[in-house]
Chain A
Amino acid sequence: MRGNFKSTSTLVARTKGLMGGALALALGATAAFAAGEAAHIDRQSWSFAGVNGRFDRAQLQRGFQVYKEVCATCHGLKRINFRNLAEPGGPEFSAEGVKGLAESYRVEDGPNDQGKMFQRAGRPSDPIPSPYKNEQEARAVQNGAYPPDLSLITKARSAGENASVFATIGSMLRDIPSGYQEGGADYVYALLTGYANPPADMKLAQGMNYNQAFPGHQIAMVPPLQPGQIKYEDGSQGTVEQYAKDVTAFLAWAGDPKLEERKRMGVLVILYLLITAVLVYFAKRRLWAKVH
């Protein structure tokens, strides 16, 4: 479940921006049903943001480690195949490493000659197996909550303004020219680092945890990351922030594996078009000079 409830204060602020302050009073009374205060999602500095954004291989590799050791217990990543982990533009693990990794999983295949399904070792062409067979099994195990598949999580979430329907003129002028598309990653990072003690006046439902970033602030997922929980081989710090950052970067890649190809091609295309536009413009001026 996800909400986009805007807090009363942002509603008022936005409305003021467009229409002037007079109607702020009218609003205060009616926005009361908004289920909870949604926290402001801070922007992070991502290596893959912006026109020249590229993933940091080491970060993606660490992020995969976090996913594998922590998230994978409950969350699937079904749109990523093992082979993707070795492909350019991603974590770029070695092909042998990926083959070995795939073989450490058991995958259902079949039917065989007897018409039975059977288990075999994974292959690089297999998708990463999900922890549950289906949503019903996940809910049964997870006490009714459904841990979503993470393949598209950074695409399927946004931080308010980072989408046209929530945009203001200011955010458009900031995000379109800079090519900032990382609202989803900002949200995931804020969620992973957003666990806190609930305010004194708030009563949490049974089995729920307080999270500053989650809409409504009540989330079924227990705080997944603890300091020192994962041993990084490259000596990076074992803090919750570091884990969250790494795994979010990895998930951003999982949601958009062609990002580097896209941005690399984009720069060339834009340069080419700029030159074309200038040439066409001057050709047009020469042509029209005769008729004036």
Chain B
Amino acid sequence: MTQHESTYRPTTRAGQWLDERLPAARLMHSSFVDYPTPRNLNYLWTFGGILSFCLGVQIVTGIVLAMHYVPSDKMAFDSIEHIRRNVNFGWLIRNVHAVGASMFFIAVYIHIARGLYYGSYKAPREVLWILGVIIYLLMMAAGFMGYTLPWGQMSFWGVTVITNLFSAIPFVGQSIVKWLWGGYAVSGVTLNRFFSLHYLLPFVIAGVVVLHIWALHVVGQNNPTGIEIKTRADTVPMTPYATMKDFVGLSVFILFFSWFVFFAPDYLGHADNYIEANPLSTPPHIVPEWYYLPFYAILRAIPSKLGGVVAMFSAILILAFVPWLDTSRVKSTKYRPVYRYFFWFFIFSVLALGYLGGKPPEGAYVYWARFFTAYYFLHFLVVMPIVGVLETPRPMPRSISEAVLGGAGGTPHGATAAPERR
């Protein structure tokens, strides 16, 4: 399949010397240069590289911000203002880090949706997919703790609400919450430990990302047809072809990113976070960052506390079981005439839940949130297993190269869309 002979030939004596002792350059070369990638990858496949970029940006800007930030309930808010006002280019670095968190999540949601659409979770990529779910969970934890650090009203009350979720656990819940807080309420003690963990988590993420890429390079990339690589003709070397395409995607992404950094830096945040945390005054609306809103809507849709918490965590964890819930014989939704409608309705449901998560928990909003929550789970637990069995897939091309070059038979040219021609 994707096992290939390394074409790495060190040209210098020093290179040869090192290659015999630690073939690190050879590993890099075979992983990122002559690694065979399917020739029909579209621009949705550039988000893997974009996500690595996002992680790098967050780590670099985060390290720099930590040089000026003070993790104390008395000083945190002031130190952020100090960064915005006095530190050289502090406003820029802080904007990049804050906007960067949102961009990271935009990219990861596109990445996950692409995986779901093209069936990238199906055998033999289950472990690859589960590693991705773990990265996503770690990202949520890192993002949540990071949002605590400015110690504004939303930071404080967001932490209060989210840490209180653990109090729903029977018997030990209250003790766990007290343990997380280091006190009887959220306080500077909590802030300090969250800062410590927020600094740690990105490096944990980086470690899991290495495993994710390793797993990817063992099983090889999926592609828009969902057909595995059969011959060398199905592939192109990763460098320069796929990397060049990654750079195109990345350039456009950075453009989008920069627009927010320079012209709408506060758009993705909440005005209340420019008010310093006040433990005695709850803001009238507590809303998490936008990227948690779908799950927040699920939490609030269930009338019981424990039920809401269980539903919210299940909504994330259920992703890990998708490889076994999907019974379809084909990977790509492109060849699934029935499932595709369910897929797009699922996407719509998640967006609707995101919208409802930002609304007050009253009246019709609650009922709609229940409706879309129900579909969210039905999609995974009922639609995926049943539609996969009942549906007759469309005729598929015999190979990737046939899909791209439009050989005899198979599907008509263009129907399988070689998207890189756009």
Contact = CB atoms under 8 A, between A and B. Distances in A.
Contact present between A and B (CB < 8 A): yes
Interface of A: 1-6, 11, 15, 18-19, 23, 26-27, 29-31, 33, 51, 79, 84, 151-152, 155-158, 162-166, 175-176, 179, 181, 183-184, 215, 255, 257-258, 261-263, 265-267, 269-270, 273-274, 276-277, 280-281, 283-284, 287-288, 291-292
B236 interface: yes
Given A79-B85, A215-B284, 8 more contacts: A3-B284, A4-B284, A23-B364, A152-B81, A157-B271, A258-B84, A269-B262, A287-B244
Closest 8 CB pairs of A and B: A266-B262, A179-B263, A30-B363, A277-B251, A156-B274, A158-B271, A165-B358, A155-B274
B244 A284 contact: yes
Contacts of A281: 248, 251
Interface of B: 39, 81, 84-85, 91-92, 95, 236, 240-241, 244-245, 247-248, 251-252, 254-255, 258-272, 274-275, 281, 283-285, 287, 290, 293, 352, 355, 358, 360, 362-365, 367-368, 404-405, 420-421
A169 to B, nearest CB: 10
Nearest to A183: B271
Contact of B364 (A30, A166, A176, A266): A30
B120 to A, nearest CB: 23
B38 to A, nearest CB: 12
B267 A164 contact: yes
B81 A5 contact: no
Nearest to B287: A165
B39 A280 contact: no
Contacts of B92: 262, 265
B97 to A, nearest CB: 15
A274 B255 contact: yes
A2 B267 contact: no
A19 to B, nearest CB: 6
Nearest to B418: A292
Contact of A15 (B258, B260, B271, B364): B364
A103 B81 CA distance: 25
Contacts of A152: 81, 274-275
Residue of A1, A5, A273 with most partner-chain B CB within 10 A: A273
Contacts of A165: 270, 287, 290, 293, 358
10 contacts: A26-B364, A31-B362, A165-B287, A263-B262, A266-B261, A274-B255, A280-B248, A287-B240, A288-B245, A292-B405
